[in-house]
Amino acid sequence: MNPGMSFSPNKRLLSLASITLVLVLGGFSKINSSDPEMEAVLAAAQFYLDGHATGDPTIMSQAFHESARLQFLRNGEYSERSVQAYLGGMGGSPADNEGQRSRRVSSVDITGNSAVVKIELDYPGAFITDYMQMLKFGDEWKIVNKIFHVEMD
């Protein structure tokens, strides 16, 4: 764990347990919370969720591989950003309306050393769907590519 993280280990475990419980109760038959690979993928996803909640790029960076890309459509045109540019745009503190925001992992699909994680972010004024492509490096899963769609309210 990064020594600069603002979460205690107990709070981190509670967050991971909460995400696992949501997935299990949500009826995702392919999710086996006792599967070590699933737990490792969810741990990487949790860094991403915690980074959003705190606005802290040091937490968020733990989810991504250093060469990761973000790809999206802006005004119907293809755009992409490096993970460094993405992290550089983070404010370093929670959003003013953080109490009105919710996030969840809605599905996980793992095959060997590859995974796809779907994350939903429900914010005032916008619903964002992220698709994270992950690869396993040693014992650690990292996001290597993120595509997303934003629906404005």
* Cα dihedral 143/90/77/145 (nearest 10): 0
Can you give the pLDDT at residue 34?
A: 79
Residue 29 or 146, more confident: 146
Residue 137 or 13, more confident: 137
Three-state SS at 15:
helix
Q: What are the structural domains of the chain?
A: 9-152 (3.10.450.50)
Q: What is the DSSP string of 63-120?
A: GEEEEEEEEEEETTEEEEEEHHHHHHT--SS--TTGGG-EEEEEEEEEETTEEEEEEE
* Cα dihedral 30/32/38/44 (nearest 10): 90
Q: Return the ∠ at Cα 13 (arms to 112 and 135), rounded to 5°.
A: 20
Residue 41: C-alpha distances to residues 1, 77, 128 (Å): 15, 31, 20
Give pLDDT tens digits for 34-90: 799 999 999 999 999 999 999 999 999 999 999 999 999 999 999 999 999 999 999
Q: How far apart are CA 140 and CA 98, in angstroms?
A: 29
